[in-house]
Amino acid sequence: MRMNVGGKLWLAFFCTLTLTVLAMYLLLHNSLQRGFLDYTSQQAVQRLGILQDALVNIHRSEGSFAKLQQDPQRWLDVRSIIFSDNPRINSEASARMGPNMSPQNHYREFVNSISLFDNNKNLLMGVIKSDKTISWIPMVDRGSTLGYIGFVKPEVVVLEADRNFMTHQLTFFGIISLVVLIISISVATLLTRRISRPIKALSQHAEALASGDFQQRLAINSHDEIGQLVDNFNKLAQTLEANEKSRANWIADISHEMRTPVAVLKAQIEAMQDGVRPLDTNGLALLHKKVEGLNTLVDDLFELTLSDIGALNYQKNELALNELVSSCVEQYQAKAADSTLKLSAIIPTGGAFRIHGDSKRLEQLLDNLLENATRYTSAGGEIEVELCENSDKVTLLVRDSAPSVVPEQRQKIFERLHRLEGSRNRSTGGAGLGLAICTNIVAAHQGSIAAEDSPLGGLTIRVELPKNATVVAK
């Protein structure tokens, strides 16, 4: 039978409480019995004071215990004086004895447990019981030890009244223990329900979350580990919901991005088939342009997918980043001029900016940044590329002139398929994948990328790459 968490918690509480109460009961039983035995031993020692005085007088008058040792009956008579001083002893004892223990039997057992020893604890009269615990009572006269009275400590409670008292105390404690156990189990049941309720709710919501309902949320009613677990569940649900929306938007955006050029291609081909548009060089050039746009989109999607799954091939080598940047800027001059933009570079001379990286991917990074700056900079504007370094990293800055991007939109421009235009026109071109690819390339080089204000009036893309980075696939 499978037991849930609540049942396991309740069983743990129940076993712990039961064992605790049982251990306390056994300890009290043992302690109470030992206490009574010590009490009866102290009473016996007090009564043995009469025998102690009698034996001291015998030794004082006879000089030793030799005559006493030779007369066993006299030793029995001497021991019997223990109870001879109290005429009520028989009546009190009869009241305290049970039906199975008469006063005579009790006194006889008590007297037989007494032995006489010399000052070296050698037995003179009585019987040695090696398996019993003996209490030694010294007999001292004028500072000299004459001998010892050996008294065997009792191991069981003999008197009926004492047994009744112990039984009453143990019964009372047993009732108290039972009440405490019931109250504790009731409290444990409430605590178990309080602890297991959010876990059960979390399990139910997790099952719903696994089935695709990403709107599941739980109220946080505590600040302990369970509350933290519930908070993490809510964050997970929120992340999954955001990812699901992103996936849906991704599919919608990809469909839209591909629908426009496909629609144009279809319309142009149908026009040529119907004879509306002649099949000439201009028509083929238009078709070729749309196909190239589709090809670029597919290539970007493929690159981004490879980057996301960590399948991009990175070849780490030591390279001079300043030479790579100079080459890329020089190659891009013609395209910038075609867009009536001024492209310049600020690269310090006198040394190589050496880092560990993949030259092909870093060139792709700079191409995407320049392409993005060219596409979103107004005609007649300016693009500036600057490279600088410090002891542990190299910083690449790509600045452009107006228009800029509002601060709350700057982080979103690195999201795939995100474009700042409110409409879906293709006047600026691009599918919004370039900066997403740049983000993955920078992350693979253990660097960082961010957008900030540009002194030229537009946007600055800041890329920081560590000099000793080990290229990893993201």
Q: Nearest 5°: CA angle at 54, between 53 and 58?
A: 115
In DSSP terms, 30 is beta-bridged to none
Residue 276 has pLDDT above 70, yes or no: yes
What's the mean pLDDT in 429-434? Answer: 61
CATH code, domain carrying 248:
1.10.287
Torsion of CA 64, 69, 71, 75, to 10 degrees: 90
Same domain, 448 and 317: yes
Same domain, 252 and 365: no
Q: Nearest 5°: CA angle at 152, between 151 and 157?
A: 120
Q: In the listed set 243, 268, 298, which residue is the last one of a domain according to the structure?
A: 298
Same domain, 275 and 408: no
Whether 193 is in a domain gets the answer no
Same domain, 150 and 292: no
Same domain, 9 and 158: yes
Q: What is the pLDDT of residue 192?
A: 80
Q: What is the pLDDT of residue 464?
A: 92
Average pLDDT over the chain, rounded to an integer? 78
Q: What is the pLDDT of residue 419?
A: 57
Whether 81 is in a domain gets the answer yes
Residue 228 has pLDDT above 80, yes or no: yes
Same domain, 330 and 250: no
Q: In the listed set 273, 298, 323, which residue is the last one of a domain according to the structure?
A: 298
Least-confidence region, from 62-71, 251-260, 281-290, 303-312: 303-312
Whether 186 is in a domain gets the answer no
Same domain, 115 and 247: no
Q: What is the pLDDT of residues 341-377, one digit of tens each?
A: 999 999 887 777 888 888 888 888 898 899 888 888 8
Residue 460 has pLDDT above 90, yes or no: yes
Whether 15 is in a domain gets the answer yes
CATH code, domain carrying 451:
3.30.565.10
In sequence order, what are the residues at sequence separation of 6 or more whose Cβ sits closer than 8 angstroms to the Cβ of residue 3? 11
Same domain, 339 and 241: no
Q: What is the pLDDT of residues 79-134, one digit of tens each?
A: 877 765 544 334 443 343 344 444 445 456 666 778 888 888 888 888 776 667 77
Whether 197 is in a domain gets the answer no
* Structural domain count of the chain: 3
Whether 180 is in a domain gets the answer no
List the one residue out of 111, 105, 3, 95 whose CA is nearest residue 47: 111
Same domain, 293 and 317: no
Q: What is the pLDDT of residues 9-47, one digit of tens each?
A: 778 888 888 888 888 888 887 887 777 777 766 766 677
Q: What is the pLDDT of residue 3?
A: 67
Q: In the listed set 133, 162, 191, which residue is the last one of a domain according to the structure?
A: 162
Alpha carbon 399 to its chain centroid, in Å, reads 46
Q: What is the pLDDT of residue 422?
A: 41
Same domain, 371 and 269: no
Q: What is the pLDDT of residues 259-273, one digit of tens each?
A: 767 877 888 888 888
Q: What is the pLDDT of residue 97?
A: 37
Range of the domain at 22: 5-162
Residue 56 has pLDDT above 50, yes or no: yes
Contact status, residue 59 vs residue 141, Cβ threshold 8 Å: yes
Q: What is the pLDDT of residues 143-201, one digit of tens each?
A: 888 899 888 776 666 566 667 777 888 888 888 888 888 888 888 888 887 777 777 78
Whether 304 is in a domain gets the answer no
List the one residue out of 413, 458, 406, 420 whose CA is nearest residue 439: 413
pTM of the model: 0.46
Higher pLDDT, 429 or 303: 303
What's the mean pLDDT in 253-259? Answer: 70
Share of the chain above pLDDT 90, in %: 7
Whether 451 is in a domain gets the answer yes
Cis peptide upstream of residue 138 (ω within 30 degrees of 0): no
Same domain, 127 and 29: yes
Give whichever of 52-61, 169-178, 233-242, 245-254 has the largest mean pLDDT.
52-61
Same domain, 11 and 154: yes
Split at pLDDT 50, 70, 90, the class of 1 is low
Residue 225 has pLDDT above 50, yes or no: yes
* Helix-, strand-, coil-residue percentages of the chain, each rounded to 5: 55, 15, 30
